[in-house]
Structures are given as C-alpha cells and as structure tokens.
Amino acid sequence: MAIEGDLLLPVPSWVTYEPQAKMLQCNIIPVPTTCDNDGMHIDAEQLRKIIKSARKTKIPNKNQDKKSSFEDNICYNPRKLILNYPSNPTGLTFPVEELKQIAQVCIQEDILIISDEIYGFVNFSNNESSPGSHDPSKHYRSIAQFAPSHTVVTTGLSKHLSLGGWRVGCAFVPHSIKGLYEALRAIASETWSSLSAPITQATVLAYSNRLEIEQHIAACTDIHGMVNRYISTSLQAIGLHCPTVQGAFYNFPDFESLREGLLRAYNVQTSADLARILLTQYSLASLPGTAFGEEPHVLKIRLSGVDLNGTKSLEHYWDLMRRDNKIDDRLAFVILIAPNVVKGVDVFKQVVENCKAIVK
C-alpha cells in the first residue's frame, strides 16, 4: 500500500500475497521459479527480462465498454518484488549467491524488495542435533545485506517461537527510501492502532536475547527439520519429486510422474483433485498448488509436517539431549513424536502402489 506500482510475484508464493495486491488494484507480474535439493531458484537475468518486458507491455483494458486511448496505452509498472525464504509452500530457501544476483538486478532496475523473513530462524540447512552446535542465526540469510537501500525486511514472532496465535509483525525500513517509514506508520496506526498488552510484553521478552529463548528456537527448529526431512526423503524413496526441505515446516511434492496412474485410479487431473482425494479417501489434509499460484494441471500439493504434540516432543528432545547431547537415531525420534506424520507418509506409499499397479 505504501509503495505504488505493480508486484513481481514468484510462483509459487504464499496464498495471501496475490489477493492482497489485487485488493490494492495492483497488477501481478509472475516470476517463475525452480526447486531442487540446492533450494529455490529465480534466474536473475530472467527476472531482469521480465521487468523490462513488463515496462513495455500494455495492460489489458478491463473496461471494454469504456475504451479510451489513455487506458489502452498504460504499461505495467513493476516497482516491488516479494520474496519469502525459507518458503511457504516449498520449505526451500534461496542460495546466497543467487540472492546477491537478484539484489543486483533490483538495484539496477530500481525495484523495492519486500523480504518476508518470517521463517528466517526456522532454517535447518546442514544442522546438527545439538543445542550448542545448531545456532539458527548461523544459517540465517537475508537479501538485505546485498541491497540495503532497496530492501524492507518483514518478520514476526509466530513461526520461530511457535506462537501461532500471537500475530505481531515487524518491519525494518531503509532510511534511503524517503517517507516510507512515515507512510507505513500512518497505515498501521489506522489499521491496527496498537498491540494488546500481553502481546507487547511477550514481544519485549522474545527479543531480549535470553539464552533459554535461543535454545528453545534451536530445539524447535531441529525438531521441524527432523520431521519434515523425514517427509522429503520418504517421498523421494517412493519415486516422487520432492526436494529435501531446508527450512519452515512444509514440503511441496510434485506428482507429475504419477499423472497417468492418478487419472486412471482416482480420476485426478488437477492439484485440487489430488488434494480432495487425499482428504476424502485417506483423511490426509493438504493444499493444492493452485492456492500458491500454480496452474491447475500442475500436480503439486503443499504438506505441512506439524501434526505432533509440541510439548511432549520438546520434553523427549531435551531428555535425549541431557543424556547424550545428541540424537543418534533421528528416524526413531520422528516415529515416536510424530506417528500421524508417519501414517501420512504411508498413505502416499499406498497411492503410489495403486497408481503403478493400474498402469502395468
């Protein structure tokens, strides 16, 4: 709202970005991504071409009954790019070198980067199972360090502190963008007025840099990593394309390799069909790729590996840490704390077997 212009939006992206932009009558310019075991990728030179092409492309006149020569000659005006990493829905983050390249393009093309780092501390790339060795801040990455004058960083408490209902957001705004801080403060004051007193007190405590809080973040991140990487590796083992997750608590598997079998066994043609079948026939909840901007025929769904008892999981985690200072058998740990996740993976094994059997 505070920055005019059209939005460059990676596909896939979090579900509310697009509708929020449309509420502000902001045009969406899709930016394709690729995903693999090295992370989520945006080709910087392709991004540059998309920006330059958009500036030369006329916006379709939606009011066909009221055509005007002025409206027919308005081109897209890309002014901002939103990035979320580690990503919801993919569970992947951008490699540091690629963040540098994206930042350089945005500086040269004068694009504001909205860096949504809500999952920034839920990053378990190359983590070890030790509260001393696994420091989430060591894995934290931000494009702001490469484009400080062109980046607004947003974050909050709800993800890395497991405070899902405590909705408080923070933004780090560069002084170089004159008037942006004042505009954001005015919008916020007219929208939310202020935080409730309990959340205010929790926020002060959360950012107090206390050791017990930092250990809690590390433990939760380690648990999320074990459970969600169990999902990734299990789906890979049965032949699905599912990059090994690097953060957050999501997987975004692709079922393209089962397209014929899914059609013949379940009459699945779209990701929405697939999500519906999983829910109605197997009681397994997922979200279709279309919710995140994918085309209907793309057979991707988002899985969230959080069906576990957080309190009991942490108790068992710290029992093992106090005894051994590590978790040797991570598979046994996941089976113990997340039996419903294990059952969910077994559902996919059954679906794959059914698909393969019917196309023999």
- Residues pairing with 287 in the sheet: 302
Report the chain's terminal Cα–Cα distance, integer Å: 54
Instruction: Give the integer Cα–Cα distance in Å for 258 and 352.
Output: 7
Following CA atoms 288, 289, 294, 300 in sequence, which dihedral angle do they give, to the nearest 10 degrees?
-120
Instruction: Give the integer Cα–Cα distance in Å for 210 and 222.
Output: 19
**Whose structure tokens read 């049965």?**
238
Q: What is the pLDDT along the chain (360 residues), one digit of tens a residue?
A: 888 999 999 999 999 999 999 999 999 999 999 999 999 999 999 999 999 999 999 998 766 555 555 556 799 999 999 999 999 999 999 999 999 999 999 999 999 999 999 999 999 876 544 444 456 667 789 999 999 999 999 999 999 998 888 888 899 999 999 999 999 989 888 888 788 899 999 999 998 989 999 999 999 999 999 999 999 999 999 999 999 999 999 999 999 999 999 999 999 999 999 999 999 999 999 999 999 999 999 999 999 999 999 999 999 999 999 998 889 899 999 999 999 999 999 999 999 999 999 987
Beta strand 28-32 with 78-84 is unpaired
Amino acid at 62: K
Ordered alpha helix ranges (H), the chain: 17-23, 44-56, 96-109, 136-139, 180-191, 197-206, 211-237, 259-266, 271-282, 310-324, 330-337, 339-358
**Whose structure tokens read 């909050």?**
156
Report pLDDT for 72.
64
CA 67 to chain centroid: 40
Q: 202 near 213, Cβ under 8 Å?
A: no
What b/e readout covers 257-269, taking b as 16+ CB neighbours within 10 angstroms? ebeebbeebbebe
pTM as predicted? 0.92
CA distances, 294 to each of 50, 278, 297, 303, 350 (Å): 18, 19, 8, 15, 26
**Among 77, 79, 88, 149, which residue's Cα sits nearest to residue 116?**
88
Report pLDDT for 162.
87
Q: 119 near 159, Cβ under 8 Å?
A: yes
**Among 265, 254, 278, which residue's Cα sits nearest to residue 360?**
265
298: which residues sit within 8 A by CB, 6+ positions away? 254, 256, 271, 289
State residue 308 phi and psi, 5-degree precision.
Answer: -155, 165
CA distances, 300 to each of 35, 132, 225, 289, 356 (Å): 12, 37, 21, 5, 18
Following CA atoms 223, 225, 228, 234 in sequence, which dihedral angle do they give, to the nearest 10 degrees?
-110
Report pLDDT for 194.
80
Instruction: Give the integer Cα–Cα distance in Å for 44 and 97.
Output: 11
Report pLDDT for 228.
97
Instruction: Give the integer Cα–Cα distance in Å for 162 and 144.
Output: 25
Q: 15 near 304, Cβ under 8 Å?
A: no
Report pLDDT for 132.
43
Q: 152 near 112, Cβ under 8 Å?
A: yes
